[in-house]
Amino acid sequence: MYWRIFVGTTSQAIPLVIQDSSSATGAGLGSLVFNTASLTAKYRREGQSSFTTITLVTATVGTWASGGFVASGGVAGSYEFGMPNAAIASGAKWVEFELYGAANMVPVKLFVGLDLVNYQDGAGQGMTSIAAIKTRVELALPNAAAGLQAGGLPVNGGNWYAATIAADDGFTVTGKHVTCVDANNTFFGVIQSDASGYIKISEGTGTGQLKTTAGKPWALATDGTTLTSGNSGTGARTVTITVNDGATALQSAIVRMTEGANGYTSTTNASGVATFNLSDATYTVAVSKTGYSYAGTTLVVDGTETATYSMTQVSISTPADPALTAAYIYTYDAQGAVAGSTVITFKLEDGDGTTARSFNNTPFTATSNAITGLMQLNLVKSTSYSARRGNGEWVDFTTSTASTYALPEVLGTP
């Protein structure tokens, strides 16, 4: 018998079925009480070399008592057992229980997984209780200054923060996740760092945002995280980039300035403006935004610079066959910049239920546009598929009856 519960749960009773060893039909043994002769209960936690004996006590059905043992009132052999809090406390990944010894009793072996997620919590599957996870770390944010709130967070939500994420044995790892919460452990979202260790955060109370608490926000990370400011550059030259569609300013476009191994990123505000502080050099400019394309250019920085870049809106072409839908997705790297020529693998999992039709379910691939990152392919309407990027997890989805279909998020490398 196997159970999974949230580690650190207390006052937990579980149902048991105990069979009668003398029955040829597998009937339950309904004669047991907490003090039945020779009835024994024990537990052993991960890492322990011996079992701990549990003192069984009388109990009331539906009310937990440590070691409580009582017939549940169901069919013969149905009981309720109160697991001791010490058995399921934090500090182990599993615990095993044994109940045995009474006359005509088939021994019961019960395994309980002690998990870091709470499967009974509908608010993010236990992420609201994220304090049980490994390490709490304060953000090393800049002091309050122009454009910053008292806690040091940017009011426009457009800055980046460099992250050094260290594993337990001290070496640095990248591409990991930071879970954002406030001082009351209110969950705001999980943000993934890119291959260079950068994590984008913004001030607020929405998904993927942080809010200030007592002058400083802080986050919780399973890997241990230190954040320092400044991926939009620290050079002496102010560079102001405006992004539009030829007429209208585009908000939330990601502008990346690259010079050799140095990369700087900023996101446009409501006026379509992104600002950098760069050193003198020639930079490669890339601009990305879902639904738009930009071919890229270069910018020479040798003073205070301003530049305007116009993006082209991308349209989705609908298939001529009414049984097909134009499925589409944009491919990006971990920093949100366009990752063109990305390959995604697809599999047909289940047809649309139409009789007299046979489909080939051999996996197939599609490649995103090298410049726009747009991937478009025709799929059968109302049909179940799965997709994966590189070595990522398979993502299941069912196409709609519409002429176009936005594919679900697909994660993976590259």
In DSSP notation, 173-207 reads E-S-EEEEE-TT--EEEEEE--TT-EEE-EESSST
**The two structure tokens encoding residue 260:** 């050799």
Q: Nearest Cα to 412, choosing from 396, 389, 395, 394?
A: 389
Residues whose CB is less than 8 angstroms from the CB of residue 269 and which lie 6 or more positions away in sequence, other chains included: 156, 158, 251
- Tell me how many degrees the CA angle 198-202-241 measures, rounded to the nearest 5: 75
Could you give the CA distance from residue 283 to residue 264 in angstroms, rounded to a whole number? 10
Q: In what order do the strands lie in the sheet with 254-259?
A: 262-267, 254-259, 281-288, 297-301
**What is the model's pLDDT at position 167?**
35
Q: What is the pLDDT of residues 83-102, one digit of tens each?
A: 999 999 988 999 999 999 99
**What's the pTM value of the predicted model, to 2 decimals?**
0.43
Q: Which amino acid is at 237?
A: R
36-50, 260-274, 387-401: segment of lowest average pLDDT? 260-274
pLDDT computed for residue 261 by the predictor? 79
- Least confident window among 160-169, 272-281, 289-298: 160-169
Average pLDDT, integer, range 349-378: 90
> Does residue 47 register a pLDDT over 70?
yes
356, pLDDT greater than 60: yes
Q: What is the pLDDT of residues 388-408, one digit of tens each?
A: 999 888 999 999 999 999 999
Q: How confident is the model at residue 122 (pLDDT cuts 50, 70, 90)?
A: low
What is the pLDDT at residue 23?
Answer: 93
Write down the residue that tokens 């379910």 correspond to: 361
324-413 domain in CATH 3.90.1150.200? no
Among 109, 111, 110, 115, which residue's Cα sits nearest to residue 93? 115
Q: Do 113 and 7 touch, CB atoms closer than 8 A?
A: no
Q: What is the pLDDT of residue 121?
A: 67
pLDDT grade, residue 131 (50/70/90)?
very low
What confidence score (pLDDT) does residue 33 get? 96
For 2-115, the fitting CATH number among 3.30.70, 3.30.160, 2.60.40, 1.20.140 is 2.60.40
Alpha carbons 212 and 185: distance in angstroms, whole number = 13
Mean pLDDT over 6-17 rounds to: 90
Rounded Cα–Cα distance for residues 222 and 220 (Å)? 7
Q: What's the pLDDT at 124?
A: 52
Element (H, E) at 45: strand 40-45
**346 touches 385 (CB < 8 A):** yes
Beta strand 209-210 with 94-100 is unpaired
Q: Lay out the sheet containing 324-330: strands in order across.
A: 374-380, 324-330, 404-406
The pLDDT assigned to 299 comes to: 97
Contact at 8 Å (CB) between 233 and 241?
Answer: no
Is residue 263 a contact partner of residue 160, using CB atoms and an 8 Å limit?
no
Query: Looking at residue 267, what is its pLDDT?
Result: 85
Find the range with the poorest average confidence among 17-26, 158-167, 205-214, 226-235.
158-167
pLDDT above 90 (res 28) = yes
Decide: 96 and 83 in contact? Cβ < 8 Å. no
Give per-residue pLDDT as tens, 156-211: 333 333 333 333 333 333 444 444 444 344 444 444 544 444 444 444 444 444 43
pLDDT band at 125 (very low <50, low <70, confident <90, very high): low
Q: Which amino acid belongs to residue 304?
A: T
The third-level CATH classification (topology) of the domain covering 237-309 is Immunoglobulin-like (2.60.40)
Burial class (CB in 10 A: 0-12, 13-18, 19+), 282: exposed
Q: What is the DSSP letter of 140?
A: -
- Sketch the domain layout of the chain as residue ranges: 2-115, 127-229, 237-309, 324-413
> What's residue 14's pLDDT?
94
Average pLDDT, the chain: 78
The answer to whether 29 and 121 have CB atoms below 8 angstroms apart is: no
What pLDDT is recorded for position 293? 87
- The tens digit of pLDDT for each residue in 297-339 reads 999 999 999 999 999 988 899 999 999 999 999 988 876 678 8
Domains 2-115 and 237-309 share a fold: yes
Query: pLDDT above 70 covers what percent of the chain?
Result: 73
